[in-house]
Structure 1
Amino acid sequence: MFVKGNIIAGEFDSTINEFSLQKVKNFETESILNEDQLNNIYHYLKKHQYEDDGQIITLYDQMLVRLEQDEVNQLISDLETVISMYH
């Protein structure tokens, strides 16, 4: 099932219970995330969601992507959608 959020987009495969992350903001990427990995990202962002400076994430371990505070909140919402699909 294709998931398109405000910050991320990708494909959730319910047969193997994995999310294939394909887009972050306007950047194309390809990462496979299992439930534990998504939960770790989600809990980290929830813990730091009210920091004024936002967050910086990396793609391909080299490209920095800045998320403003409102984008962090949007990403949290996107992650909640994907997390609800795991069984």
Structure 2
Amino acid sequence: MSKGAKIALFMLAASLGNVIVTGVIFVACLGLYSLTLARMLPQEAVIWAIGGSFLISLIGSILVYKRAIRFARGRFDLDAWLGFSAKK
């Protein structure tokens, strides 16, 4: 497999994984909101819950992605597989 194909495959898998993680965190935050604060706050507060859940899911997915990349680089020698030179 060529270097370009490996990089394209990695980018596709990483993007798909990132979207899935973002969605899972978003749904989990909204579920937590509906079980706790939704009963106490007025119905108009749901827009703030959606916005907050979206921001939390973006930040959470970035943190998960960074840890996953660090793990893959150390465990599976991702840099060599993708054909990148080692850091100096």
Using structure 2 for the length normalisation, give the TM-score. 0.28
Greater gyration radius: 2
Which has more helix, going by share of residues? 2
